[in-house]
Amino acid sequence: MFSLLRSMWLVFLHMFHKRETYQYPEERAPLPARWRGRIALTRDPDGGERCVGCYLCAAACPVDCISLQATEDEHGRRYPEFFRINFSRCIFCGFCEEACPTYAIQLLPDFEMAEYNRQNLVYEKENLLINSEGKYPGYNYYRVAGMAIDGKAKGEAEHEEPPVDIKSLLP
Amino acid sequence: MSAGHYWLVIGGVLFVILNTAAGLIWLERRMLALWQDRYGPNRAGPFGLFIVLADTIKLFFKEDWIPPFADKVVFVFAPAVVVASVLLSFTIIPFAPNVVVADFNVGVLFFLAMSSMGVYSIVLGGWASNNKYALLGAMRGASQMISYEVFMGLSLMGVVIMSGSFNLSEIVAAQKNGWFILPQCVGFFIFLIAGIAETHRLPFDIPEAESELVAGFHSEYSGMKFGMFFIGEYMGITLISSMVVTLYFGGWLGPAFLPPVIWFVLKTFVFIMLFILLRASMPRPRYDQLMEYGWKILFPLSLVNLLITAAIKLLI
Amino acid sequence: MGVFFYITAAIAVFSTAMVVTRFNIMHALLYLIVSLLSVAVIFYLYGAPYMASLEIIVYAGAIMVLIIFFVMMLNLGPESTRLEKQWLKPGMWMVPALFCVILLGELVYLIAQNHTPVTGIKEVPPKAVGRSLFGPYILAVELSAMLLMAGIVGAYHLGRQQPKTLHRFLQSKPS
């Protein structure tokens, strides 16, 4: 009996507590930097797109919402011809981000993606590609991995180490 | 009392009660939010007051659906019973000197009779829905309300003994020299608890119990028929609060700097807040716990209270 | 007063007739409640407000709810309605109906004989009811109290549960 009255009193005291609500449209909840929200394709520091069309994100996607077609430009650099994410299927698991070898596909802390028309939830490459380096500023995949050009294979240029032999157990 | 005054009182009471019941939708949500560190409805209109309007419009325009497996006549009839019985109970409540619809000399008994009629809305609504959750809710509601009615009546009798009348105006007048809350505080607590059970409000919302029985007896109801149950519940809160005020807290009596009606409304409002606070803070008891609590604690307690009150009245 | 009486009496008679003729037991019970309510109104009209309230509280409010409660538990469906229809053949209700008609005729005859219009209705306040109950009729009150006590003791005895020591799965004989 006493505990009931005590809990009533404690609940009553909550009248004078601060309210926890975020008044959403005016006031936004601070989202952490690694919040898994809208998926975007980022660019490298030079402004070129990072995606190399390796299909790893599409393979990793558990709901198969990513579809792309890789192609090559005149220098042999692979890039996606189209890149399409169906956000009405996407579950924002972040597996695509983990799978991506070039940090191209990233989940950004943004959730305001509601649409009146379901078809509008299918984002094409021009919708996905943002003019930013995302969470990894200054990272350029080919600067780290090296790139074979005519007459020089990987690791043969100046200030380059030979690539790691992934088949060997030795360091 | 002239005829014009009489019709004015009826119209005024009806207007105030229905608007209070509607306003309680907003008030309850705001207060619950306040006690849970939230804001509650605050977008539509000043302080979100227009949510009442929006809710009403929504209820009116919802499809008035009767399930094909339901007993149609009884299904339609049941929600009307709750509103009718609660509204009829309001006729006997003295809001101020001379502001009472029917100055019945068996007012208290009439209140009890009407609250026992209110059981039918739950029972019939649950039965006519032809749905197992509704039926379970109806059975729980029937047994809960019948048993709590018993101690409700018994706890009232202490007040009746002290004032020597069933007439509510006379009961209020008998409290001129001191409210009945002091000598009848046991009766007050029993009446309050039984009143909460009678309106099947939380924590005693066992007939509805949305976590176990979907929505209990009104699972199948929609539109304005559900709205009747909804409004009936809020009117029940107002009714029990105003009965508590009339019987134990001196009704419209109060210092003269405010008119009696204001005193009555203020006191009633305090008890409505108590109802909402109870909802905000109490867990729902299990069904057998509720019945056990009623029959094994409240029932003997109210009998003892009645006995002692009668003995003291007899000796003094 | 007379108009109100005739309206209420008509409702009472009509609803009572409906009680007897309904096939669906729930509808029959609902009509019975209406009948009880109209009887309560008649009590009130003829100066017994206390009796009227008690009629509603006890009969319409408590006993009928209990009966409805049990009917709900019995789960009677269209099947029972069909059975009811089957039983209600003219051969079944002819004789009781005949007796009822005879009784009704006697009642009408007696009422017609004693032709004094009801005037000067004296209202019986609750206090008077209490005084007569605990004055001249104290023995009857005490006797009925004893009867109710016996009923409560019996109900407690029937409803008492044996304390269970074993889980129901472990009990050897089904209980």
A93 is in an annotated binding site: yes
pLDDT digits (tens, 9 = 90+) for C12-56: 888 888 888 777 777 888 888 888 888 888 888 777 778 888 888
Predicted local distance difference test score (pLDDT) of residue B71: 79
Q: Which residues of chain B have pLDDT under 70?
A: 1
C145 touches chain B (CB under 8 A): no
Q: Nearest CB to C65: which of B105, B146, B166?
A: B146
Q: Cβ–Cβ of B116/C126 closer than 8 Å? A: no
Question: d(Cα B77, Cα B141) in Å, to the nearest integer?
Answer: 17
Give percent above pLDDT 70 in chain C: 89
CB–CB contacts below 8 A, A to B: 33
**Would you kindly state where each structural domain of chain C is located, as residue ranges?**
2-91, 125-161
CB neighbour list of residue B199: distance below 8 Å, 6 or more residues apart: B233, B236, B237, B239, B240
The A66-72 sheet, strands edge to edge: A66-72, A78-86, A122-123
Provide the token pair at B270: 């305090």
pLDDT tens-digit profile, chain A (171 residues): 788 888 888 888 888 888 888 888 888 888 888 889 889 999 888 888 888 888 999 999 999 999 999 998 887 788 899 999 998 999 999 899 999 888 889 998 888 888 899 998 999 988 888 888 888 888 888 877 777 777 777 777 777 777 777 888 876
A54 is in an annotated binding site: yes
Residues in chain A whose Cβ is within 8 Å of chain B:
4, 7-8, 10-12, 14-15, 17-21, 23
For residue B45, the tally of other CB atoms under 10 A from its CB is 14
The beta-strand segments (E) located in C17-115 are none
Mutation target vs B (from A14, A16, A18, A22; most B CBs, 10 A cutoff): A14
Answer whether residue C147 shows pLDDT above 90.
yes
Q: Cβ–Cβ of B139/C69 closer than 8 Å? A: yes
The alpha carbon dihedral of C133, C135, C139, C145 has a sign of positive
The vertex-C65 CA angle with B299 and C27, nearest 5°, equals 175
Question: d(Cα C10, Cα C6) in Å, to the nearest integer?
Answer: 6
**Would you kindly state where each structural domain of chain B is located, as residue ranges?**
67-315
Mutation target vs B (from A19, A20, A22, A23; most B CBs, 10 A cutoff): A19
Task: Report the run of H or E that residue B209 belongs to, with start and end.
Answer: none
B281 touches chain A (CB under 8 A): yes
Question: d(Cα A35, Cα B300) in Å, to the nearest integer?
Answer: 60
For residue A165, the tally of other CB atoms under 10 A from its CB is 8
Half-sphere exposure of B26 (CA within 13 A, CB side): 20
Note the pTM of the prediction, 2 decimals: 0.77
Predicted local distance difference test score (pLDDT) of residue C118: 61
User: Which of B146, B141, B280, B145 shows the shortest CA–CA distance to B215?
Assistant: B141
Predicted local distance difference test score (pLDDT) of residue B193: 87
pLDDT band at C1 (very low <50, low <70, confident <90, very high): low
Residue of chain B whose alpha carbon sits nearest to that of C44: B106
> Is the preceding omega at residue B203 within 30 degrees of 0, hence cis?
yes
Q: Nearest CB to B35: which of A4, A11, A21?
A: A11
Residues in chain B whose Cβ is within 8 Å of chain C:
71, 73-74, 77, 104-106, 109-110, 112-113, 116-117, 119-120, 123-124, 126-127, 135, 138-139, 142-143, 146, 149, 153, 166
Predicted local distance difference test score (pLDDT) of residue C116: 59
Q: Tell me the CA distances in angstroms from B223 to B57, B64, C120, one per residue in order.
A: 10, 5, 50
Interface of C with B in 18-57 (CB under 8 A): 24, 26-27, 30, 33, 49-50, 52-54, 56-57
B282 touches chain A (CB under 8 A): yes
Task: Give the CATH architecture of domain C2-91.
Answer: Up-down Bundle (1.20)
If DSSP codes are grouped into helix, strand and coil, which group holds residue C50?
helix
Residue B31 buriedness (CB in 10 A; 0-12 / 13-18 / 19+):
buried
DSSP state string for B17-38 = HHHHHHHHHHHHHHHHHHHTT-
| Interchain contact C/B (3 or more Cβ pairs less than 8 Å) | yes
Q: Give chain C's length.
A: 175
ipTM of the complex: 0.76
A65 is in an annotated binding site: no
C16 touches chain B (CB under 8 A): no
Residue B213 buriedness (CB in 10 A; 0-12 / 13-18 / 19+):
buried
Q: Which CATH class is domain A23-143?
A: alpha beta
Question: d(Cα B78, Cα A154) in Å, to the nearest integer?
Answer: 84
The vertex-B139 CA angle with B138 and B144, nearest 5°, equals 100
Q: Average of pLDDT values for C117-146?
A: 82
Q: Nearest CB to C68: which of B110, B123, B153?
A: B123
Residues from chain B contacting residue C27 (CB–CB below 8 Å): 73-74
Q: Nearest CB to C72: which of B116, B138, B149?
A: B138
B25 touches chain A (CB under 8 A): no
Answer whether residue C149 shows pLDDT above 90.
yes
Question: d(Cα B290, Cα B285) in Å, to the nearest integer?
Answer: 6
Q: Cβ–Cβ of B34/A15 closer than 8 Å? A: yes
Predicted local distance difference test score (pLDDT) of residue C148: 92
Confirm if B107 and B168 have CB atoms less than 8 A apart.
yes
Q: Cβ–Cβ of B277/A12 closer than 8 Å? A: yes
Residue C32 corresponds to which amino acid?
Answer: L
Predicted local distance difference test score (pLDDT) of residue A116: 92
Predicted local distance difference test score (pLDDT) of residue A62: 92
User: Which residue stretches of B164-298 are H helix?
Assistant: 168-173, 185-198, 223-248, 260-281, 287-292
Mean pLDDT for all residues in chain A: 86
Q: Cβ–Cβ of A14/B34 closer than 8 Å? A: yes
CB–CB contacts below 8 A, B to C: 72
Predicted local distance difference test score (pLDDT) of residue C117: 57
The alpha carbon dihedral of B235, B241, B244, B249 has a sign of negative
A57 is in an annotated binding site: yes
Q: Cβ–Cβ of B109/C54 closer than 8 Å? A: yes
Predicted local distance difference test score (pLDDT) of residue C114: 62
